[in-house]
């Protein structure tokens, strides 16, 4: 099994028996209000922040999240200063959830990882082997890749993910 490489992730897992993971879409409902919101969420007890990366085509998300994506200022997708402000607003782990085309294909995931702005990535539209390859690449920057399991996967792939991944999103 792969080890957890991000210190914030391992500290959270080690010291907490029950973790509250909160999903928030970056920049929603507005750029500045989002920064205040995540600080308030941390003060209220969110242990891990799963932050949605804005997408022009969030077709795999539900209707409510799709509508939120439509209202977000898309300039934040490449605004390193905004992602730095997010990191500076909270002390808890940040897991960026996004589509391959928005994070991996653009290469922006490397910027976030190299600058220490993220603790993990959740990329639902990649298979187990692609996650493992990405995890190998990101381990040098102490960034985890969260295994992703969904009901459409074959049992063998689900078993492989749970057997070889330290953190799994189900």
Predicted local confidence at residue 68, as pLDDT: 66
Give per-residue pLDDT as tens, 117-161: 999 999 988 888 898 899 999 999 999 998 888 788 788 888 888
With residues binned 3-state (H G I as helix, E B as strand, rest as coil), the percentages for the chain, rounded to 5, are: 50, 15, 40
Cα-flanking dihedrals φ and ψ of residue 147, to 5°? -65, 150
pLDDT tens, position by position, 52-92: 998 776 666 667 676 765 777 778 889 999 999 999 999 99
> The whole model's pTM is what?
0.90
Q: How many CA atoms lie within 13 A of 132 on its CB side?
A: 12
């Amino acid at each position: 099994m792969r080890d957890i490489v991000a210190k914030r992730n391992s500290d959270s897992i080690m010291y907490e028996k029950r973790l509250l993971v909160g999903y928030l879409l970056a920049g929603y409902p507005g750029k500045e209000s989002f920064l205040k919101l995540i600080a308030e969420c941390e003060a209220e007890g969110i242990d891990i922040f799963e932050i949605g990366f804005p997408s022009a085509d969030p077709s795999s998300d539900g209707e409510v999240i799709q509508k939120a994506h439509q209202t977000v200022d898309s300039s934040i997708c490449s605004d390193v200063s905004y992602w730095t402000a997010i990191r500076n607003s909270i002390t808890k782990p940040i897991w960026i959830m996004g589509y391959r085309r928005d994070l991996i294909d653009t290469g922006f995931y490397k910027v976030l990882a190299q600058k220490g702005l993220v603790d993990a990535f959740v990329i639902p539209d990649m298979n187990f082997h692609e996650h493992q390859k990405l995890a190998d690449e990101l381990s040098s920057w102490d960034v985890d890749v969260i295994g992703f399991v969904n009901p459409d996967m074959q049992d063998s792939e689900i078993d492989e993910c749970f057997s070889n991944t330290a953190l799994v999103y189900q």
